[in-house]
Structure 1
Amino acid sequence: MENHIHSTWARTFECRPRLFYQPKTMDDLVELVHSARSAGASLTVVGSGHSPSDIAMAPTTGWLVNLDRLCAVVSTFPATAQKTTEYSDVRVEAGIRVYQLNAALAFRGLALQNLGSISEQSIAGLISTGTHGSSSFHGPLAQQVVDLTLLTAAGDFRTVSPTTDPDLFKAALLSLGKLGIITHVTLRTIPAFNIHSVQEIIDFDRLLADWRTVWTTKEYVRVWWFPYSRKCVLWRAEKSTLPLSNPRSSFYGTWLGRTLYEAMLWFAVNIFPPSMPAVERFVFSRQYGSTQTYDTPGASVDEAVQGSVEGLNMDCLFKQYVNEWAVPMRDGVEILTQVDKLVSEAASKHDYYVHAPIEVRVSNCSVPPENDIPDSPFAIIRANSGIGAIPGNYCRSLLEYAPRVDYPSPGEPITVDNLTLYINATMYRPFGRDPPIGKWYSEFEAVMAQYGGRPHWAKNFIGPAGALNAKDEAKRKKKDGQMVGIAGVFAEWYGEDGQKFKKIREKLDPDMLFVGGREWAERNGLI
């Protein structure tokens, strides 16, 4: 197809590639790779466009390829590597969207062990960008991968796993689309399950006071922080056999409430920014109430029993910019205290106003020492209590952006010292209008970097201050919040693993067939 326009879901970026392809078969895909190489064109793979940055924007001379037609479930077989037949490994074509996979697994009585916020992405995209859910007992979703197959620039298929070419496997677990085309993925699944969730209101100061205990009370935990209200929504869930029940109706779950919220955001962004705190407080009171219900006897809480997909997915509301960083959970109280101070002082000076909620989530990105996998606490926890993951692999991807933390010792409980905290500063684009983000995001990132944080590769991070020369900095300032990138600190932040990734990429793709978004890759130190 010619004259195709591709944009991100949030309408933050768009591109007009020379040609757009949707291959129907693997043979089509191989032919496409050979044709692009012969023509000297780059190939950029795209899925749903839910990464809001320009990471997958093809140049006007490049070719764009979408794998939506390569979405079959290839096979299902027992996970023979485990000591029980309770788990099944499912092999799929990598273009399958997560919602399609969820439906196919449900038909077979199976489910993914954990999910992110949405199910629109392709499996290839979900893996390639480091998607995570929110659980102290599960790692990034790539943890569920048993093996995967990569179509290289030479037109060859290479199936890799923790035991077959482990370095390439670790690189491909978070490849950013720069190594080749992921064509097949084998995932470790479990029997379908429901979850019982309890949603409570917790004061911000109480959340900080209970920080070391609240994150491990249930298998799935996430927090939405409303800074001007000084309150949070605490959502906790566990697997359950209770009868299904729906959550209570919500303010912005209706067309009227949702439209009113977006209209108020538009007013705050375009007409009167100081109204933003009042908008947040109004919406919070309509959506959740105004009093703390956490650990309050007799308080009314929002409970539901839902299928795992409905319970773990969430409503992302409006088109948005998203700047998410991973930091050590043990430093969470200090980090949130500093961010809270930034937000309060900026509002008092009318410097900038933030949107809510700020998402606060958790993951267990710790990995065991090599050759210590049989004693995995994850397996012990899952076998003894029914919570936690049975991983498809115990590898850390070479470009994993979660800081390294201690792996829990066998028999010891998981604590915040073993966990990764994700903080997501969302800024909405009400009715397509851009809010100012540059100053807020720059100050937010400075706090994250102070504690060894790293940005989510696929989001709208800016990058370290002073990374550009004066000429380029002046050019960047023409657009508020434009990405500088992390090229200047890539070697420091990613060390030997980052250099190994670059060497693998150069060996697999010396002519940079899969570096269509070259500016983004250069900006972030990958080439």
Structure 2
Amino acid sequence: MSFSLPASLAKIRVSRIHHTWANTFQCSPQFYFQPKTIDDIYEIVNNARKFNKKLMVVGSGHSPSDLTITSNPINEWLVNLDKYNKLINVKPSLDGKFTDVTAQSGMRVYELNDILKNKGLALQNLGSISEQSLAGIISTGTHGSSQYHGLISNQIVNLKLINGMGELINCNEFENVEIFKAACLSLGKIGIIVEVTFRAVPKFQIKSVQEVINIETLIEKFDSIWTSDEFIRVWWFPYTKKCILWRASKSDEPISEPRKSWYGTFFGRLFYESLLYICVKFLPKLTSIVEKFVFSRQYGLIETFNKNGDIAVQNSVDGLNMDCLFHQYVDEWACPLVSGPEIIRLLSKSIEEGKESNKFFVHSPIEIRCSNTTLPNYESGVKQDLSKRELINKGPIYGNTVRPYLDTTPKLNYVPLDKITNSQLTLYINATIYRPFDYNTDYKEWFHIFEEIMEAADGKPHWAKNYDNSIVTKEKMMEWYGDDLIKWREVRSKMDPNGVFLSGKEWLIRNGIVEEDVLSGKEVKESKSSDNSVE
């Protein structure tokens, strides 16, 4: 026997193969759906449960790992939310002091940025890009780089999701709090987030200073650099033994564009990618020479720390976003910021040894960032004082003060914003290996060494990146997350008792996200229909 795809689903089915932005993975699900309305999403979830299908939800596909890759081409459906992207409302927050913006979850961040700009508003902080969907930017723990701001999810005031039973669930810091803690870093396994409410602020500009800094200077000044401005980023070019230090704070000065980028031009970018292709395919030993050449063309070789940095004033989106250049493998870990100097020394030594032995070569920049994921505990009476808040004041205006169960950052003690030291901050280091013209560059030996160093510093990997599962095992995940992972599993099980959102079995098993008896079906309610074939 067979069944025809219901008309309600046939109209939103598209013919497409899913692949990640970086073309690192691809899959062919049984069906690929692009819902346009919430009723479409109800239909997808309810039919998936009825016919014992699994759902994978994806936005931009910027996660370079196989997190969004289906496992079974005859039993898994993929749901892309790009067409579920409408603005719902913009209204004052409950206390009347701020503005809350609600949109459908498939809206891309850059679309929301444009809408907010036209309304005189902005998001408080961004990651390195704005390509993600609103659901996607919170589902894997996206963050920016700031001594004051934490995960992007802390800007969320409210979420609505459709769970595996086809129920619409509203959750926030005060309603269905346990679900909210799980959904704010859901990995797409709690349900389909359908509506997101952000706490916006009046649009703002940031004044940045970009400087060339020697790596030894960075290590020497490490304790003071990360609390010197509201937004801080470092791009490390290990073969040059130099970094680019970028620091910025809110400003009311007139717009002043940054100097032009050499590899931001069409021919500069093409030449750079061509050089990388020659390195990875034919002559790896040229990698360090190429890095030095590109750095000299882009930035110059003279240290300018606290001297003659490049100054720019930009709107917040232009200043906070960056150019990711080429398709890439990415491995990012978070650990206590105070471990930074020793980590950098160990990584630098390993990179040099890899070069001398010709075993591996790294690509640049290695991105170094920080965040503050400590939060005031409103239940204990610690509250954020916003009574004298001005437009260019530093720091966040929280949408919530909830720590997601699967937050990768260390649990550190909160202090008021004017008393922050490095001991409140999380260090992120992002190792990138480019895939010039989509060449499958070897990255495993470098990433393995990188992860050994980060894990020894009490680090944890970003959920969506290309980490090594010889180090990041399901046993290690339980050791790292313990009760938080157990609580997340409990919420997941209650929201999805039929296992509708357990698509991507290989990824789930490797990472121990759910218990194997759940994946094997022993605790999953069987569908009443045994007919799983489709015309």
1:271 deviates by 0.8
State the number of aligned residues. Answer: 500
1:503 aligned to 2:513? no
1:490 aligned to 2:477? yes
Aligned to 1:21, which of 1, 14, 33?
33
Cα distance in 2 between the residues matched to 1:2 and 1:103: 28
Cα distance in 2 between the residues matched to 1:202 and 1:176: 37
For 1:428, the equivalent position in structure 2 comes to 434
For 2:138, the equivalent position in structure 1 comes to 127
Q: Helix, strand or coil: the match of 2:246?
A: strand
1:349 deviates by 1.2
Cα distance in 1 between the residues matched to 2:237 and 2:159: 40
Cα distance in 2 between the residues matched to 1:3 and 1:387: 47
Cα distance in 1 between the residues matched to 2:220 and 2:387: 30
Cα distance in 2 between the residues matched to 1:343 and 1:438: 14
Over 3 Å counting, the alpha-carbon distance change for 1:373 and 1:221 in structure 2 is farther
Q: Helix, strand or coil: the match of 2:165?
A: coil
For 1:6, the equivalent position in structure 2 comes to 18
Give the partner amino acid of 1:71: N
For 2:408, the equivalent position in structure 1 comes to 401
1:80 aligned to 2:94? yes
1:252 aligned to 2:263? yes
For 2:209, the equivalent position in structure 1 comes to 198
Q: Helix, strand or coil: the match of 1:251?
A: coil
Gaps in structure 1 of 5+ consecutive residues: 466-484
Cα distance in 2 between the residues matched to 1:73 and 1:108: 12
For 2:114, the equivalent position in structure 1 comes to 103
Cα distance in 1 between the residues matched to 2:457 and 2:113: 37
Cα distance in 2 between the residues matched to 1:456 and 1:243: 37
Give me the TM-score of the superposition, normalised by structure 2.
Answer: 0.91
Over 3 Å counting, the alpha-carbon distance change for 1:284 and 1:380 in structure 2 is farther
1:162 deviates by 1.0
1:275 deviates by 1.0
Give CA-to-partner distance per residue, 1:424-466, whole Å, 9 cap, x none.
000000111122111111110001110110000001011344x
Q: Helix, strand or coil: the match of 1:253?
A: coil
The answer to whether the 8 Å contact 2:409/2:460 transfers is yes
Cα distance in 2 between the residues matched to 1:173 and 1:253: 34
Give me the TM-score of the superposition, normalised by structure 1.
Answer: 0.92
Q: Helix, strand or coil: the match of 2:478?
A: helix
Report percent identity of matched pairs.
Answer: 47
Over 3 Å counting, the alpha-carbon distance change for 1:2 and 1:66 in structure 2 is closer
Give the partner amino acid of 1:486: T
Give CA-to-partner distance per residue, 1:65-103, whole Å, 9 cap, x none.
11112111111121234xx62x21111111110011011
| Structure 1 segment 19-168 matched on structure 2, within 5 A | 19-59=31-71, 60-61=73-74, 62-81=76-95, 85=97, 87-168=98-179
Q: Helix, strand or coil: the match of 1:17?
A: coil
Over 3 Å counting, the alpha-carbon distance change for 1:382 and 1:138 in structure 2 is farther
Cα distance in 1 between the residues matched to 2:53 and 2:147: 43
What is the RMSD computed on CA atoms of the aligned residues?
Answer: 1.6
1:374 deviates by 3.9
Q: Helix, strand or coil: the match of 2:267?
A: helix
Give CA-to-partner distance per residue, 1:325-372, whole Å, 9 cap, x none.
001001111111111111111111111000000000111011234623
1:284 aligned to 2:292? no
Give CA-to-partner distance per residue, 1:284-343, whole Å, 9 cap, x none.
0000000000113xx3x2221111111111000000000000010011111111111111
The answer to whether the 8 Å contact 2:148/2:417 transfers is no
Cα distance in 2 between the residues matched to 1:412 and 1:105: 29
Q: Helix, strand or coil: the match of 1:229?
A: coil
Cα distance in 1 between the residues matched to 2:461 and 2:505: 19
The answer to whether the 8 Å contact 1:3/1:16 transfers is no
The answer to whether the 8 Å contact 1:170/1:396 transfers is yes
The answer to whether the 8 Å contact 1:145/1:186 transfers is yes
1:443 aligned to 2:455? no
Over 3 Å counting, the alpha-carbon distance change for 1:157 and 1:416 in structure 2 is same
Larger relative contact order, structure 1 or 2 (CA cutoff 8 Å, min sep 6) = 2
1:157 deviates by 0.5
Aligned to 1:265, which of 276, 279, 286?
276
1:412 deviates by 5.1
Give the partner amino acid of 1:70: Y
The answer to whether the 8 Å contact 1:445/1:463 transfers is no
Cα distance in 1 between the residues matched to 2:228 and 2:387: 17
The answer to whether the 8 Å contact 1:402/1:454 transfers is yes
Cα distance in 1 between the residues matched to 2:381 and 2:256: 39
Q: Helix, strand or coil: the match of 1:371?
A: helix
Cα distance in 2 between the residues matched to 1:383 and 1:411: 15
1:381 deviates by 9.3
1:507 deviates by 1.8
For 1:314, the equivalent position in structure 2 comes to 322
1:208 aligned to 2:223? no
For 2:5, the equivalent position in structure 1 comes to none
